[in-house]
Amino acid sequence: MGFFKWINFFMIFNFFSLSLSTNYLDEAKNPDVFDWMVKIRRKIHENPELGYEEFETSELIRTELGKLGIPYRHDQVAVTAVIAFIGTKKSPFVALRADMDALALQEKVEWEHKSKVPGKMHACGHDAHVAMLLGAAKILKEHEKEIQGTVVLVFQPAEEGGGGAKKIVESGALENVTAIFGLHVTPRFPIGEVASRPGLVYARSGFFEATISGKGGHAAFPQNSIDPILAACNVVISLQHLISREADPLDSQVVSIGSFQGGSAFNVIPDSVTIGGTFRAFSKESFMLLRQRIEQVITGQALVHRCNSTVNFFDEEKPFYPATVNNGELHKHFHNVAGNFLGINKVNDIPRPSMGAEDFSFYQEVVPGYFFLLGMQDPSQERLASGHSPYYRVNEDALPYGAALHASLATSYLLKLQHEVEG
Ligand SMILES: *[C@@H]1O[C@H](CO)[C@@H](O)[C@H](O)[C@H]1NC(C)=O
Ligand SMILES: *[C@@H]1O[C@H](CO)[C@@H](O)[C@H](O)[C@H]1NC(C)=O
């Protein structure tokens, strides 16, 4: 492209994305779309379903897509997933993703649409993510004739540890997709603002569980038992030394034990103790080394205390999540679109990656992907609880921002591809 063509392209592109975005936000705030999203979100909130059990959520999504006349695939894609298509149904394809699963948590917020399922709750906003992607679908359907390609909507199961994204990738549903976008609501930023960063965003993450077996007996006579509690305590302490003594202090890593189960009486040494935890690192090398050393430390420390042990890394049920890495070109696109849309001072840079994890990373292993945070805190209100709290609440006023951003990120990206081809 010559200099003037470039200028021309940027002017046209910015003009288009600006007018698209502002339209989309107005449309998303319109009661037609807004009230509808709120209703859907509340319905899903009342009936939370855990990973790979999102049967009713999936059915609700398909019903609404059907009413909008949007075709979708459902059979043989990651159990409950729904993959929908809007636009020319031809290349190029750009994907938008929402996760559908809830958490095993008892809701403690008293409100009209509180979870009706004891012990299950949407405490991470996935109900809002689904509603926003459906909102985007409704807006995009209205503009289907203007879409220069196909927007692929990915409603995925099991983000919370089950690796639903991995199953979607394995199903081949993203085969011809050029880019994928995903978002997460957060109380860390005010409503109307977004935050992200190029490159590393979240760590590589895995889970493990170990059973340490000794020999139970009366606690008054420890000499007749082999105490798995003391062995497990030493395991936990030794695992921390992997971080403090073996890892490079400049190469961030984490090992946390979140579960320690054993015994039930004050005067009985139990037969066994089961511990479980998570480990994180950014590079594959550090991660694999950590995994190997976790196993060695557990086995070795158990033996020191005359116990046997087994270690399970859940390779099938809870696959390792790769690191979440945002594509640099998509970062520019995001900045451009979100800046036009919200004002450039509302687009925040996250200064550092975090040890959190997101299974969006499975998509990023096969296609360029971009993940960002959508603010939902009303600055005049009390700070909303953070994710995975039984007091978690979603500010529904954020729904139009998510829906409109989804829609404009996709359509303007397709427009950009079109211009690149013509250029
Ligand atoms: C991807 O494109 C190829 C060639 O056009 C086609 O055969 C295939 O079915 C497409 N895959 C998907 C998942 O749409
Ligand atoms: C550990 O395993 C060995 C071999 O199976 C067995 O002989 C021993 O009794 C076990 N020890 C404990 C404490 O369970």
- pLDDT score at 16: 55
Tens of pLDDT, residues 155-191:
999 999 888 999 999 999 999 999 999 999 999 999 9
Asked whether 184 and 125 are in contact (CB, 8 A), the reply is yes
> What average pLDDT does this structure show over 271-277?
98
CB distance 283 to ligand 1 below 6 Å: no
Tens of pLDDT, residues 320-370:
999 999 999 999 999 999 999 899 999 999 999 999 999 999 999 999 999
Q: What 3-state DSSP class applies to 275?
A: strand
Tens of pLDDT, residues 7-36:
555 555 555 555 555 689 999 999 999 999
Asked whether 164 and 101 are in contact (CB, 8 A), the reply is yes
- Alpha-carbon span 370 to 324, nearest angstrom: 9
> What average pLDDT does this structure show over 254-278?
97
Please give the full DSSP string across 349-408, using - where no structure is assigned.
EP-S-BS---TTHHHHTTS-EEEEEEEEE-TTSPPPPPTT-TT----GGGHHHHHHHHHH
- Alpha-carbon span 196 to 327, nearest angstrom: 11
Tens of pLDDT, residues 31-75:
999 999 999 999 999 999 999 999 999 999 999 999 999 999 998
* DSSP-derived secondary structure letter, 259: E
Ligand closest to the CA atom of residue 272: 2
Shortest-distance Cα residue to atom 6 of ligand 2: 308
Shortest-distance Cα residue to atom 6 of ligand 1: 176
- For the question of whether the overall pTM of this predicted structure is more than 0.85, the answer is yes
- pLDDT score at 120: 98
Ligand closest to the CA atom of residue 90: 1
388 vs 7, higher pLDDT: 388
Tens of pLDDT, residues 211-226:
999 999 999 999 999 9
Confidence of residue 422 (pLDDT cuts 50, 70, 90): confident
Assess whether pLDDT exceeds 80 at residue 85: yes
149: left (phi over 0), alpha (psi -120 to 50) or beta: left
> What average pLDDT does this structure show over 362-389?
96
The pair of three-digit structure tokens given for residue 13, joined into one six-digit string: 């592109």
CB distance 76 to ligand 1 below 6 Å: no
Ligand closest to the CA atom of residue 216: 2
For the chain, percent of residues with pLDDT exceeding 70: 95
Mean pLDDT score of the chain:
94
- pLDDT score at 316: 83
Residue 322: asked if its preceding bond is cis (omega within 30°), the reply is no
Q: Which ligand 1 atom sits closest to the C-alpha of 176? A: 1
- pLDDT score at 1: 44
Cα 225 to ligand 2 centre (Å) = 13
CB distance 175 to ligand 1 below 6 Å: yes
What is the signed CA dihedral for 328, 333, 336, 340, rounded to 10 degrees? Answer: -140
- pLDDT score at 295: 98
The pair of three-digit structure tokens given for residue 252, joined into one six-digit string: 């961030």
* 114 phi, psi to nearest 5 deg: -55, 150
Interacting residues of 418 by C-beta distance below 8 A, sequence separation 6+: 148, 149
- pLDDT score at 77: 86
User: What distance, in Å, lies between the first and last C-alpha atoms of the chain?
Assistant: 6
| Number of neighbours of residue 9 by Cβ within 10 angstroms | 16
Q: What 3-state DSSP class applies to 118?
A: coil
Asked whether 235 and 212 are in contact (CB, 8 A), the reply is yes
> What average pLDDT does this structure show over 227-254?
98
| Number of neighbours of residue 365 by Cβ within 10 angstroms | 13
96: left (phi over 0), alpha (psi -120 to 50) or beta: beta
- pLDDT score at 20: 57
Closest CA to 370 of 218, 191, 194: 194
Is residue 124 part of an annotated ligand binding site?
Answer: yes
**Residue among 176, 178, 180, 367 to mutate when testing ligand 1 (max atoms within 8 A of CB):** 176
Is residue 233 part of an annotated ligand binding site?
Answer: no
Enumerate domains of the chain plus CATH numbers.
3-201+323-422 (3.40.630.10), 204-312 (3.30.70.360)
